[in-house]
């Protein structure tokens, strides 16, 4: 079996490689990664765009394989929240005909200025958290992510991404 991940982001690649070890039939799969376009903004600002980005990544990575994985994090509007937006990760697994979707848990920035920088200034999450002093690491999205910083390592971007992958694999396993 061959799997292709539509990203070279190390956190996303590690997440897929670790998760498939939990699923009989996938444990021996060869896993490749491919740098493909999402077709959406670097910082998706809606659940629809985030899903589209994940699906586009999966479709664009699909080539001579059994499944391709598209992973995209983005904001979604949440009425009644402090900032109006939560971050969520979407996994789209593509089998050449159908998409199998899963979402992670969702979370909100405690500092509304960070969300405002993404919405109004067009910054991606890494740029926004660097601007507001949460970190000075421009590659934080390839490491523990903003969620790792905010939870003090209790939930990293890799673990957060694994939630979405597990949810998408429900469709394949069952």
Between CA 111 and CA 132 the distance in angstroms is 9
Q: What is the pLDDT of residue 37?
A: 95
More confident: 104 or 139: 104
Q: What is the pLDDT of residue 91?
A: 98
In which residue are the tokens 């958290």 written? 129
Residue 140: pLDDT band with limits 50, 70, 90? confident
What percent of the chain is modeled with pLDDT above 90? 95
DSSP string across 91-118: EEEE-SS-EEEEE---B--S-HHHHHHH
Domains of the chain as residue ranges with CATH: 2-173 (3.90.950.10)
Q: For the segment 65-91, what is each residue's pLDDT rounded down to a tens digit?
A: 999 999 999 999 999 999 999 999 999
Asked whether residue 142 carries a pLDDT value surpassing 90, the answer given is no
What percent of the chain is modeled with pLDDT above 70? 100
């Amino acid at each position: 079996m061959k799997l292709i991940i539509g990203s070279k982001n190390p956190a996303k690649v590690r997440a897929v490689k670790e998760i498939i070890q939990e699923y009989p039939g996938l444990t021996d799969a060869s896993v490749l990664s491919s740098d493909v376009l999402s077709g959406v903004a670097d910082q998706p600002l809606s659940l629809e765009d985030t899903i589209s980005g994940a699906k586009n990544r999966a479709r664009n990575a699909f080539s001579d394989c059994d499944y391709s994985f598209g992973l995209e994090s983005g904001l979604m509007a949440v009425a009644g929240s402090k900032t109006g937006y939560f971050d969520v990760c979407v996994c789209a697994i593509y089998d050449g005909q159908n998409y199998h979707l899963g979402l992670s848990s969702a979370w909100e920035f405690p500092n509304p200025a960070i969300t405002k920088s993404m919405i109004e200034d067009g910054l991606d999450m890494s740029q926004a958290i660097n601007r507001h002093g949460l970190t000075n690491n421009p590659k934080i999205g390839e490491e523990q992510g903003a969620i790792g910083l905010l939870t003090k390592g209790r939930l990293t971007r890799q673990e957060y991404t694994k939630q979405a992958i597990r949810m998408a694999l429900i469709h394949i396993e069952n």
